[in-house]
Amino acid sequence: MTTDTGLPDEAAEPIDPTRLPEAQAADPAITAPAAPDPAAGTPAGTVTTTADPASAAAADTTAAAADAADPTGADTAAADPADGIIPAATATPDPALIEAESARLAEAAARRSRRRRNALRWTGAVAVMIAVGGGTAFALAIPQRTDMPGLGTSSDGRYAFPQLSLPALPAGQPAPASSAGAESGQHLADIRKLLLPKPVGATTQPVKNAVDGWLADPSPLFIDQDGKRILAEYGLRHTAAASWNATDNATTTIYLLQFADNKAASAAQSALADGNLTALDEPALSTAITGVPSNVAAQDLVVLSSGVNGEYSTVKGSGKVAEYGSFVSGDTVAVITQSGPAGLQFAPFKQVMILQAELLQ
């Protein structure tokens, strides 16, 4: 006979084995202990209660409604401290922290905005500078420099000459500086065509005793009373002369004394200078020109043209100034004089010396 051990301290009620099947059929909620299921992991001796099918369906419907209301599956029932369940405290944000974080985000956004504005500002400034610089350069390139305020320099008195050109050489004849004529330096073209033309605005002046640009006897140009003999001794061939009066009231006269070659021209220059030398030990022919006092010292004009050096003497007095200069180029001795008012600048005289030297090159 089997006894129920589930009721302690009481006498076990006898169970009639003949009624066991009827009792199980009448109360389906009570089942005999099932054998342990290794796959399901249910321990042996577990009592499984089976609810009424209608109650189970109602419970399922309630659970589904709860799941729909709370997708997270959290239990929405209020916790009862009496049941031993203490609800978790809900964290309340600190307004000070919220305000500080908002301020930090606002400052970061402001910094980004300032950086963008600064980048745009610099880009615009560079573009404006490029545009203004290009426009200014273009504007400065259009007018003449002397027409620009602040850029124009005061005139130093230099003349404006027409375009210079060299005369044509005789057929088959070399230029003075060519390899064939370099040693002698002979000018085979008409020497009168190598005279510097008058500047723009100047008027032609006659040269005393000159005929058709030729001066038969240039010896009166020099102080030396024996000048005519010296010129003949060194083989003077002929002398070309020209003179003009410019807009500054200065009168310029040019004499080109042509000899047989460079050697003869240099020797005649030294003889006419009568031992007078410049600081560079060059013959000071300018001090030997008629009208130059004996106490005047000659000054050097270095490199008038390629391989050509010159010298000059300045005479002032009676409200006037006069410049006397000379140089040798190839077979020719050039003598240039310029006289005018006391305020006459030196630049025009130097300009004439340089341009005449270039024509003879």
What pLDDT is attached to residue 146?
61
What's the rounded Cα separation, in Å, for the pair 256 and 326?
10
Of the options 3.40.1000, 1.10.10, 1.25.40, 3.40.50, the CATH number for the domain spanning 191-360: 3.40.1000
pLDDT tens digits, the chain, 361 residues: what are they?
444 444 445 444 555 555 554 544 444 444 444 444 544 444 444 444 444 544 544 455 555 444 544 544 444 444 455 555 555 556 677 888 888 888 888 888 888 888 888 888 888 888 888 988 888 877 767 766 666 666 666 778 899 999 998 888 777 666 665 544 556 678 888 999 999 999 999 999 999 999 999 999 999 999 988 899 999 999 999 999 999 999 999 999 999 999 999 999 999 999 999 888 898 888 999 999 999 998 999 999 987 877 789 999 999 999 999 999 999 999 999 999 999 999 999 999 999 999 999 999 8
Task: Break the chain into its structural domains and give their ranges.
Answer: 17-66, 191-360
The closest alpha carbon to 192, from 148, 237, 133, 126, belongs to 237
What pLDDT is attached to residue 361?
82
Q: Which residues face 321 on adjacent strands?
A: 316, 340
Q: What is the tens place of the pLDDT at every residue in 112-142?
A: 888 888 888 888 888 888 988 888 877 767 7
Which residue reads 């330096």 in tokens? Answer: 185
What pLDDT is attached to residue 174?
67
